[in-house]
A and B are shown apart, each in its own frame.
Chain A
């Protein structure tokens, strides 16, 4: 498998949210605006890349019987780092994401990549895999955030899209919880219908 394939597999073909349907909790909870979705995606990408890096470096020294607790410890270290960094540098974003920043630690996407890929692969490949999977997650959250923010708030990154009359009376339920379930349900149905099986 070429380096490019390793990168694009997680980005599109095995997209965590839209294809594998994992990491759903943050994907639905913090995709009410583009900024929240993008920020959450980048935070998860950071954790994924660095945990893949460390686990790949240590892969020959980790005893098989206790590998899962070790993976969790490595992951939670980077989650704590991003938790405190976001609190210091992006306090508004941190407040919007709330409990979902520390909860990156139980995102099955990250433990899944550590177990299925980084514990068996070279350092460079693991970083590429982490980057692809993480950016695929970011892409999914940004797409959902775009749809929900435009319909539910009439804005894109805070800029008015359809003019003031829509802005003052948008489809408000799209930025509330039912909108999240509805958007991902419709996106998944469109993927089922229009994306060819061999691409999935």
Chain B
């Protein structure tokens, strides 16, 4: 069993959710046009990912496993996450207005973010304990935030650069992401993690 610190590092850098696992690419390309929106999205992802990891872990281990309903995993998880996001949104709106103003518009987008559902599946597939699952979710969320903010910074500069018209927009963003992924490949093997 790996220690929580190694699980965190693996999720944060070595197996980065966006650049190495290819999850959450829609927000990665969709809301990374400015650093400000990227930061908001990153924070919202960390927040929801951690809560979703707890709830789905409990649902899976307390409800689905004892009742032998593992085949319902996909349907139950997606519905759990969708309703969770709604609840979180309503709760923040009523109780933490400042936080809601900062994260509010990103919360509905998160329901269809495959990174959230992906992390809950990976938690179950890796048979993590609740503590390790939490660490994994936070590490993954931080990794997502790091990459999306860095990418937003690059894209802000790319907008000003003289680029061939057929490369403008998506193509040059993909090529920039490719170079970032190449840099992140350098982390593989860190502390023996692959």
Contact = CB atoms under 8 A, between A and B. Distances in A.
Main secondary structure of the interface of A (DSSP, over half): helix
A21 B174 CA distance: 11
Contact of B175 (A102, A106, A185, A192): A185
A12 to B, nearest CB: 18
Nearest to A26: B22
Interface in B163-188: 164-168, 170-175, 177-179, 181-182, 184-185
B185 A29 contact: no
Interface residues on A, range: 35 or more
Main secondary structure of the interface of B (DSSP, over half): helix
B21 interface: yes
A24 B166 contact: no
Contacts, number: 116
Contacts of A77: 75
B85 interface: no
Given A182-B178, A189-B171, A177 B20 contact: yes
B22 A28 contact: yes
A179 B113 CA distance: 23
A177 B20 CA distance: 6
A80 interface: yes
B23 interface: yes
Interface string A24-38: 111011000000000
